[in-house]
Copies of this chain bind each other. A is one copy, B any other.
């Protein structure tokens, strides 16, 4: 299956310079694309490489086109954001080659008679859909997944194999939840009495917006009384923990192994590097960027990039610096003593 360049531009926009009837069958990086593929230039420093491409067409920015366009043998797709254009083109080719998904409920799935599964939805082998759950039009619940009582899976949302999506939780349209993710397990809430923990029932839900992607084995806990809220367009990588009653603002992204403790309120358009941690009940405003491996122990109320991890060193060097770090108080004391002595010395003069 192939796509005409003219059709590509009709669907995705951009300016085509070249023959609209050229047909292409896929997309590949600059150095790998062949004569039946398109490729993209998203960084001007690869202009020389782009100029030498064998691809049928090159996606590039107006600036890059001005610089190298005329010298190119193939067609050009000029667009303000070549990387986004690449993403959309790749989506198009994937859809083109995908096996047709046939709606319906696999005979081995257990769908409660009081559940509501749209006729255009797909429920895979050995999946379980409990009473009063709703699976929307075009949604997919893959093999071994669980949708709890009264939960809602929005239109076109895809739960991969072995997802657990618990009672009463909701996810909007066009979402993706990867395998092993657990949405709506109980938050970690206890009262302490006489050294023993007494469970506080977690009766809130997890409410997830549209266009959200949740990575493999990521966990998002249900709220204690109020709900845990995940905004529209949020992207969570694998093995992330979101505690009960957190609020994650729209279009915030978190890399793998991030942890957010309960009741943290995180703004929109934030990014968190891998294994960053956020303590409970903190507030982080919009457009904050936290580096990998950094512990957020106070609220962040000012836009910016924040970092806090111990720099790596050869083990022997680390041991030296770690000993000094442990004893920085002593070092400061010593400096103060030196200051005093020097003050005396200079005053004597």
Q: Could you list which residues of chain A lie within 8 angstroms of chain B, going by C-beta atoms?
A: 28-29, 32, 81, 83-84, 86-88, 90-91, 93-94, 99, 106, 108, 110, 124-128, 130, 142-144, 146, 148-149, 160-162, 164, 166, 176, 178-180, 182, 185-186, 188, 190-193, 195-201, 203, 213, 215-217, 219, 221, 225, 233, 235, 237-239, 241, 243, 251, 253, 255-257, 259, 261, 269, 273-275, 277, 279, 290-298, 304-315, 317-326, 328-329, 331-332, 334-335, 338-339, 341-342, 345-346, 348-349
A174 CB to closest chain B CB (Å) equals 10
A186 surroundings in chain B (CB, below 8 A):
176, 178, 213
Residue from B160, B197, B319 in contact with A164 in the complex, judged by beta carbons closer than 8 Å: B160
A329 surroundings in chain B (CB, below 8 A):
317, 320-321, 324
* CB atoms of A162 and B162 under 8 A apart: yes
* CB atoms of B166 and A164 under 8 A apart: no
* CB atoms of B295 and A277 under 8 A apart: no
* Given the contacts A149-B99, A335-B334, A298 and B277 also touching, CB distance less than 8 Å: no
Complexed CA–CA distance, A246 and B167 (Å): 33
* CB atoms of A196 and B144 under 8 A apart: no
* CB atoms of B312 and A295 under 8 A apart: yes
* CB atoms of B255 and A94 under 8 A apart: no
Interface centre among A148, A200, A334 (most CB of B within 10 A): A200
7 tightest CB-CB pairs across the interface, nearest first?
A308-B312, A164-B179, A110-B125, A185-B216, A182-B216, A128-B143, A146-B161
Complexed CA–CA distance, A345 and B344 (Å): 11
Complexed CA–CA distance, A32 and B275 (Å): 36
Residue from B127, B178, B297, B313 in contact with A312 in the complex, judged by beta carbons closer than 8 Å: B297
A100 CB to closest chain B CB (Å) equals 12
* CB atoms of B311 and A308 under 8 A apart: yes
* CB atoms of A128 and B110 under 8 A apart: no
Complexed CA–CA distance, A178 and B188 (Å): 11
* CB atoms of A326 and B313 under 8 A apart: yes
* Given the contacts A201-B91, A233-B196, A335-B335, A146 and B143 also touching, CB distance less than 8 Å: yes
Residue from B29, B277, B292, B318 in contact with A308 in the complex, judged by beta carbons closer than 8 Å: B318
Complexed CA–CA distance, A51 and B72 (Å): 77
* Given the contacts A215-B219, A312-B294, A341-B342, A81 and B239 also touching, CB distance less than 8 Å: no
* CB atoms of B182 and A84 under 8 A apart: no
A290 surroundings in chain B (CB, below 8 A):
312
A197 surroundings in chain B (CB, below 8 A):
233, 235, 251, 253
Complexed CA–CA distance, A91 and B203 (Å): 10
* 24 chain-A/chain-B pairs, Cβ below 8 angstroms: A126-B127, A128-B161, A146-B179, A161-B164, A176-B199, A180-B182, A182-B216, A182-B217, A237-B241, A239-B239, A274-B279, A277-B292, A294-B310, A295-B309, A305-B314, A305-B315, A307-B318, A308-B309, A308-B312, A308-B318, A313-B326, A317-B326, A324-B329, A334-B335
Complex: chain B residue closest to A234, CB-CB: B197
Complex: chain B residue closest to A293, CB-CB: B295
* CB atoms of B320 and A199 under 8 A apart: no
Residue from B188, B279, B325 in contact with A238 in the complex, judged by beta carbons closer than 8 Å: B188
* Given the contacts A126-B128, A185-B216, A275-B259, A251 and B196 also touching, CB distance less than 8 Å: yes
